[in-house]
Amino acid sequence: MSVAAPFLALTFLISLIAFAGIYKIPGAQTPESPRGLPVWLLAVWGPSLAAIVLTARSGELADLLARVVMLSGVPAPVWAMAFSPVAALALVVHRHGGIPQAHVLTNGVIAKLVLLNLVLGPLGEELGWRGVLQPELADQVGWVAGSLVVGAIWFAWHLPLWLVDSPQSEIPIPLFGAHVMAYAVILGAMTHLSPSLAPAILFHLWVNVAAGLALLGGLGTSASYFRATLLPYWGIAFAATAWVLALG
């Protein structure tokens, strides 16, 4: 039985209710405030919460959670894709001739950035997008088309962030959408090539962390960083697609 429709309905219901709280509750516009953090967590965790609810009902929750911590059987190129955002960041650093505000990037700052982005990013999303929705759509229309559909839905799910003072709102919507579609193709290839969700979680994490490091390190604005890394990410997406096709 298809779970795509109930998954999407529950995901958007959870996230939109939480977003209404972000929009209406004074002081909840940032996840760094005591009032904001719980509401932002609920908004971000919409996809994973929906996946947990639906797989618990079908008796597949244990299998889904096992895929999160699965490390064996993952091809080496998939691990390379998981850390490819670091290469995109390195390219921007090279163009700037270094990190202008490197002194700001202490171990404590980096640890906080990683933890915050892990909880308010891939852990709340990837159980749903790549754990539930991607495999079902891939079975129906193939992994490439499925990835593009997931990417379009994923992009639409982010759009309310332009109504509040979020980091994403500083990025032109078409530019952000082009990035999301590249990520979706890369993540779709990773999901096609490996049963584990760990590489997808790591890729999503490092996409967010790399952007945060660039901003804190003085490597331009969020918009300029996204412009500088758009072609590299699409290069990775095309390389991932070519590799999957080569494997037959």
How would DSSP label each residue in 115-184?
HHHHHTTHHHHHHHIIIIIHHHHHHHH-HHHHHHHHHHHHHHHHGGGGGTT-GGGGS-HHHHHHHHHHHH
pLDDT of residue 24: 87
Q: Which of 27-31, 91-95, 99-103, 132-136 has the lowest mean pLDDT?
A: 27-31
Residue 22 lies in a domain: no
Q: State pLDDT tens for residues 213-225.
A: 999 999 999 999 9
pLDDT of residue 175: 98
Q: How many CB atoms lie within 10 A of CB 239?
A: 15
Residue 66 lies in a domain: no
Number of domains composing the chain: 1
Residue 20: partners with Cβ closer than 8 Å, 6 or more residues away = none
Residue 129 has pLDDT above 80, yes or no: yes
Residue 49 lies in a domain: no
Q: How many CB atoms lie within 10 A of CB 26?
A: 8
Residue 94 lies in a domain: yes
Please give the structure tokens belonging to residue 44. Answer: 């971000």
CB 53 within 8 A of CB 128: no
Which domain does 118 fall in, by range?
73-246
Which residue type occupies 34?
P
Closest of 171, 175, 200, 169 to residue 85, by C-alpha: 200
Residue 67 lies in a domain: no
Residue 122 lies in a domain: yes
What count of residues does the chain have?
248
pLDDT of residue 77: 92
Residue 248 has pLDDT above 80, yes or no: no
Which residue type occupies 16?
L
pLDDT of residue 105: 96
Burial of 98 from C-beta contacts in 10 A (0-12 / 13-18 / 19+): exposed
pLDDT of residue 1: 60
pLDDT of residue 243: 93
Residue 30 has pLDDT above 90, yes or no: no
Residue 208 has pLDDT above 80, yes or no: yes
Residue 37 lies in a domain: no
Closest of 42, 80, 85 to residue 211, by C-alpha: 85
pLDDT of residue 165: 78
Confidence band of 167 (pLDDT split at 50, 70, 90): confident
Residue 48 lies in a domain: no
CB 167 within 8 A of CB 217: no
